[in-house]
Amino acid sequence: MTLIKSISGIRGTIGGHTGDTLNPLDIVKFTTAYATFIGKTKKTNKIVVGRDARISGSMVNRVVCGTLMGMGFDVIDIGLATTPTTELAVRMSGADGGIIITASHNPRQWNALKLLNAEGEFLTASDGAEVLAIAEAEAFDYADVDHLGHYTSDDSFDQRHIDSVLALELVDREAIRNAHFRVAVDTVNSVGGVILPRLLDALGVEYTMLYGEPTGDFAHNPEPLEKNLGGIMSEVAKGGYDLGIVVDPDVDRLAFIQEDGKMYGEEYTLVTVADYILDHVKGATVSNLSSTRALRDVTERHGCKYYASAVGEVNVTTKMKEVGAVIGGEGNGGVIYPESHYGRDALVGIALFLSSLAQKKLTVSQLRATFPTYYIAKNRIDLTPETDVDAILVKVKELYGKEADVTVTDIDGVKLDFPDRWVHLRKSNTEPIIRVYSEASTMEAADALGKRLMDVVYSMQ
């Protein structure tokens, strides 16, 4: 089964049997459930719809828009648009909510619906659970012919998004323009190829596009990890570039390539931007439990307080609001800057990263060397559906909670913080597995720590 329903939306592969894959009938049901939920508190009767460039996007878009109109909502279709653009469009248009048609970094055969509230932010866990319950009940009430919604197409939000980035006080447009940066950009045949050239033109950055046509037929695995980025790494290594910029299909994740063609490290996208922000504005920072300790180190170096949240963007943003964080995000290259909006935004990340690089007058590799070096190993423990994962995690917590040099955090699985390393075990929401992430000063030490905890878990089964 490749149809996955969760509190954050619905996703799956296109085609196949209803209930097993992402198909028109399931799209209608889930869109109707979302519209029913939004209808309880609607004020403007408007819902924004944006999509990435996936091959199935046009089909899914038409089903979603038609369903919303059938529920009596006026649709603002912003077409090919990034996830952060769609989030901002909800706020800018005063809509009651939004649907982003994107499967993020999943392969080309996947698509998904991601659901936004009136603030242009992802639904909370409780709101998402309510949408799922409505979908399962299937007690739907559609509009009659006199109360059908209207359809509007609006392609102005890309420029409005760019304008909002350029207006941020800490985006140093003059320094960026004077630096005369030359960059290579990999937008993996999706919407980054539409909006990033316009942003870079506005910043005075010279660029070479790789896989810039938004065909949705991805030239490589779209997850921005080193193993998938040989093309841009080779291009930058040829010389003549200051850096490489990589985004995923919906442009909420951001990774960089150093001027020597080596990975900067996606974990360090947020670390670098946070360091730049804290140079100018003191305040708290937030990332999730599975993100690098380097953010904590950098935050404390600035005399500020770091906080960890459960994994998931909505959990990060909730914690950021709670502690008044000036910057936050996730170690997968997601930068959340409240001065713009509470959502991961690669455009904001690019503008702030280039501002830091221009002001400090360093090469990208020199900038990377100013931060602590950590390595994260990612492992998994495959379990049978009958395994009591929660009981195992409780046992791990009890076992290590007795050790004086270990700090245990249990807001999302179990994280064990040792003085010089950490390991995080958390149950997958979609598979019978435990994800085991571990970090240390070398990859060997990180992997060894993860394997050690895996052996502990195996011994408990």
pLDDT band, very low/low/confident/very high, at 430 (cuts 50, 70, 90) = low
Check pLDDT > 80 for residue 386.
Answer: no
State the average pLDDT over residues 151-165.
98
Show Cβ contacts of residue 341 under 8 Å, excluding neighbours closer than 6 positions: 84, 87, 88, 91, 120, 121
CATH of residue 230's domain is: 3.40.120.10
Write down which residue in 340, 368, 396 finishes a domain: 368
Considering the domain architecture, whether residues 196 and 83 belong to the same structural domain is answered as no
Considering the domain architecture, whether residues 337 and 392 belong to the same structural domain is answered as no
Considering the domain architecture, whether residues 363 and 382 belong to the same structural domain is answered as no
Considering the domain architecture, whether residues 389 and 321 belong to the same structural domain is answered as no
Q: What is the pLDDT of residues 280-337, one digit of tens each?
A: 999 999 999 999 999 999 999 999 999 999 999 999 999 999 999 999 999 989 999 9
| Domains in the chain, number | 3
Cβ atoms of 434 and 380 within 8 Å: the answer is yes
Considering the domain architecture, whether residues 126 and 255 belong to the same structural domain is answered as no
User: Which pLDDT score, from 0 to 100, does residue 401 have?
Assistant: 84
In a domain, 364, yes or no: yes
In a domain, 335, yes or no: yes
Residue type, 279: D
Write down which residue in 158, 182, 205 finishes a domain: 158
State the average pLDDT over residues 42-68.
97
In a domain, 163, yes or no: no
In a domain, 184, yes or no: yes
Check pLDDT > 60 for residue 1.
Answer: no
User: Which pLDDT score, from 0 to 100, does residue 97 have?
Assistant: 98
Check pLDDT > 60 for residue 107.
Answer: yes
User: Which pLDDT score, from 0 to 100, does residue 92 have?
Assistant: 98
User: Which pLDDT score, from 0 to 100, does residue 177 have?
Assistant: 98
Considering the domain architecture, whether residues 52 and 176 belong to the same structural domain is answered as no
Q: Which of 56, 93, 104, 356 is catalytic?
A: 104
Check pLDDT > 90 for residue 390.
Answer: no
In a domain, 361, yes or no: yes
Q: What is the pLDDT of residues 180-232, one digit of tens each?
A: 999 999 999 999 999 999 999 999 999 999 999 999 999 999 999 999 999 99
Q: What does the block give as tokens for 268? A: 């360090």
User: Which pLDDT score, from 0 to 100, does residue 2 have?
Assistant: 73
**Mean pLDDT value across the chain:** 95
Nearest to 53 by CA among 164, 195, 200: 195
Show Cβ contacts of residue 361 under 8 Å, excluding neighbours closer than 6 positions: 179
CATH of residue 414's domain is: 3.30.310.50
Determine the Cα–Cα distance for residues 105 and 450; give it in Å rounded to an integer: 25
User: Which pLDDT score, from 0 to 100, does residue 301 have?
Assistant: 98
User: Which pLDDT score, from 0 to 100, does residue 71 have?
Assistant: 98
State the average pLDDT over residues 95-118.
96
441 carries an active-site annotation? no
Which of left, alpha, beta for 280 (phi over 0: left; psi -120 to 50: alpha)?
A: alpha
Considering the domain architecture, whether residues 204 and 114 belong to the same structural domain is answered as no
Cβ atoms within 10 Å of 186's Cβ, excluding its own: 30
Determine the Cα–Cα distance for residues 134 and 127; give it in Å rounded to an integer: 11
Considering the domain architecture, whether residues 335 and 455 belong to the same structural domain is answered as no
Q: Which domain holds residue 177?
A: 171-368
